Structure 1
């Protein structure tokens, strides 16, 4: 499990890189923070990052890990860096922009809602939530609350958050990057579910039969 200082350093560093790329793409601090919607998104990013510091997320391989799935982490990092910079840049350059300020503010709402949905399961699962596809010591299934409806709420939150970011910058490129994100996420979901089936057998199969992966009734 990551200690709080290490988690704080990683979280703050990641946040600064992400926002820094967006500011660079938009053309500088003065230009970026002159727009209310972008200022709100920046503040929301800061708040969510501070909250994340108090979670128990870890990068432990635990008792059993699917190491073949580690490529997903690298893929998500690359997509994330592109998502940080390109929507802001294409918005400033008026390249493949989608709409006006109403879409920006819809993006702000989706960004915040997705960020909350992304981080909430981290607190629900505690030490069982890992950046790796792994079974942690004392691992048990959580099948109540949001997990009683969908099996991967944090991944749904990630997608909603990314789509909100793209809308905030009116970016068709950002929407495309969000769609591309689905590919490694589905690969990770399949890997997780295979590992959980191996660990919990019929108990996980029964749980899987009653829930959806990401969107109730659809997937």
Structure 2
């Protein structure tokens, strides 16, 4: 990896995961740094972000300026504010109306689910190697990955994100904000995934459409139907 690429990745991690995330939280809810479950969430967020950044290649053939990439960036920027809203939802609503939910076990369950979702995304990123950039583009000498986790889950990176997004908010023992996040992330990730599906169908009309999708559909429909895609044969 070139030094310039390394410098970009280091700057990205330091600014977004260390400075931006912690600064926003310190300004609005400094108490978050004094409680163990929140400390563990922050550490896991930084660790996951760092690993993902290290694994994610820098695309040489595209830029993350499409609609769905921009929406993903906005959601990323909103992450600490969703944490803040979840914290105050717990303090103002949950603790008064649903005290049974205001328990440590809920926080640690959310943390475990978040780690699980992050692990799914990271494994998916690892398998894609040089094809796993954040840009919706076909890279040079692009190959269709059909083994490992991709033999069971068609889009593990997105599935991990869909699991992790509400789970990290569950750590704050909230209900409404995690459900809202699940809905918003579902809409954005599904749209981005469908865009990738279109590109892959065009690039790999035989191996992706005729061979892999029918086999993979049997796997992922048996496990998860949240994407509800309708596979249509390509026109000749």
Same fold (TM over 0.5): yes
| Native 8 Å contact 1:111 1:161 kept in 2 | yes
Q: Structure 1: which 5+ runs fail to align? A: none
Q: Deviation string for 1:165-218 (max 9, x for gaps)?
A: 110112221331221111111111111111101001021012111114995523
Aligned to 2:206: 202
Aligned to 1:81: 77
Distance in structure 2 (CA, Å) of the matches to 1:86 and 1:121: 26
TM-score by length of 2: 0.80
Aligned to 2:131: 128
- Residue 56 and residue 166 in structure 1: after superposition, are their counterparts in 2 closer, same or farther (change >3 A)? closer
Aligned to 2:10: 8
| Native 8 Å contact 2:110 2:170 kept in 1 | yes
Structure with larger Rg:
2
Paired residue secondary structure (1:3) = helix
Distance in structure 2 (CA, Å) of the matches to 1:96 and 1:78: 27
Aligned to 1:92: 88
User: Alignment RMSD, CA only?
Assistant: 2.5
Aligned to 2:44: 44
Aligned to 1:35: 35
Distance in structure 2 (CA, Å) of the matches to 1:117 and 1:104: 20
Distance in structure 1 (CA, Å) of the matches to 2:206 and 2:123: 27
Aligned residue pair count: 212
The structure richer in helix per residue is 2
Q: Which protein has greater RCO, CA pairs closer than 8 Å, 6+ apart?
A: 1
Counting only pairs closer than 5 Å after superposition, residues 13-162 of structure 1 correspond to structure 2 as 13-16=15-18, 17-25=20-28, 27-28=29-30, 31-61=31-61, 70-92=66-88, 94-97=91-94, 99-100=101-102, 101-162=104-165
Q: Deviation string for 1:7-29 (max 9, x for gaps)?
A: 2211222213234334444x21x
> Is 1:182 aligned with 2:178?
no
